[in-house]
């Protein structure tokens, strides 16, 4: 699913209709003209959505805006979804790149951790920025976002290590069905996923409980079909959350993000998880 970006060098094949003698040096003899060489273009180029797929970036410098001390901007891209963070909550939604502008293209789900006021404001600032869209250019290892006087330079990070999720427990804070991202509604039992060091998985959908098995390889977790109880959910919203959890935790999922928040992206559904303290 990953595709390497190709930067096409500029080359001079010839200048039709212009005699070569016109390009000769002052010290050259008759007929000893030379053609000027043009260096290949290796600078940033406009990126596409396929260029970004499967990649993660973290900010190295930000000009035109003061980040909260000790925070960075992180962006991850996988299967048409962009995960963004700016020091507190994690936001996830479908994205696109049109006319060189990177933006979210649908509903955005966010974790609901309590933030200090300055970090909450920074989350809102980044969300607004990615909703309006920013010009995006890049090279093989870097991404640059610009909007007016704002410039954000980001460096590419290594892919997430799915094995780091072994031996951890998570709360499900958001779901996606491939087109719509939703926050887990208030009032239902908190859904959760725990992955033991040996890969044994315990699932609480908010309605039912179950078990599975996970195998980690690179940035991918592969789940065995889950076995769950079959109680009726108390509401349509709770049933939708359960469906997203069970469909995501069945087969291969791509892991993006790190630390206290990660996103699991499956074939048709996805989950946003917040690590339990």
The token duo for 267 is 């074939």
Calpha distance 251→69 (Å, rounded)? 40
- How many Å apart are CA 107 and CA 119, to the nearest integer? 22
Helix locations, the chain, DSSP H: 49-52, 117-132, 236-248
Q: Quick check: do 45-157 and 162-275 share a fold? A: yes
Give the C-alpha separation, 262 to 141, whole Å: 22
Assigned fold of 45-157: Lipocalin (2.40.128)
CA atoms within 13 A on the CB side of 174: 28
pLDDT in tens, the chain (277 residues): 433 333 333 333 332 333 333 333 333 443 444 444 433 444 578 899 999 988 889 899 999 999 988 788 999 898 889 999 887 888 889 999 998 899 999 999 887 767 778 888 999 999 999 999 999 999 878 999 999 999 999 999 877 789 999 999 999 988 888 667 677 888 899 999 999 999 999 999 999 999 999 999 988 999 999 999 999 999 999 999 999 999 999 999 988 876 677 889 888 898 988 888 7
> The pTM is what?
0.57
Label residue 32 exposed, middle or buried (CB < 10 Å: 0-12, 13-18, 19+).
exposed
| Domain 162-275 sits in CATH 2.40.128.270 | yes
Tokens at residue 99, please?
């006319």
Sequence spans of domains, the chain: 45-157, 162-275
């Amino acid at each position: 699913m990953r595709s390497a970006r190709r930067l096409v060098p500029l080359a001079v094949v010839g200048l039709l209709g212009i005699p070569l003698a016109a390009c000769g040096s002052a010290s050259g003899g008759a007929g000893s003209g030379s053609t000027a060489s043009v260096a290949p273009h290796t600078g940033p180029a406009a990126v596409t959505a396929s260029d970004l797929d499967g990649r993660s970036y973290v900010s190295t410098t930000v000009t035109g805006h003061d980040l909260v001390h000790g925070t960075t901007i992180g962006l991850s891209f996988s299967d048409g979804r962009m995960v963004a963070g700016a020091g507190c909550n994690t936001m996830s939604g479908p994205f696109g790149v049109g006319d060189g502008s990177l933006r979210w293209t649908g509903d955005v789900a966010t974790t609901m951790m309590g933030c200090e006021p300055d970090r909450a404001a920074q989350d809102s600032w980044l969300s607004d920025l990615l909703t309006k869209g920013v010009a995006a250019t890049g090279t093989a290892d870097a991404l640059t976002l610009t909007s007016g006087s704002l410039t954000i330079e980001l460096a590419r990070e290594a892919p997430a290590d799915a094995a780091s999720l072994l031996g951890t427990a998570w709360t499900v804070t958001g779901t996606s069905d491939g087109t719509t991202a939703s926050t887990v509604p208030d009032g239902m039992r908190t859904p959760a996923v725990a992955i033991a060091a040996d890969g044994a998985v315990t699932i609480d959908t908010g309605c039912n409980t179950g078990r599975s098995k996970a195998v980690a390889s690179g940035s991918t977790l592969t789940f065995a079909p889950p076995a769950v109880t079959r109680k009726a959910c108390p509401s349509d919203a709770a049933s939708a959350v359960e469906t997203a959890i069970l469909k995501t935790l069945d087969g291969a999922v791509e892991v993006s993000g790190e630390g206290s928040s990660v996103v699991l992206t499956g074939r048709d559904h996805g989950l946003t998880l917040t690590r339990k303290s």
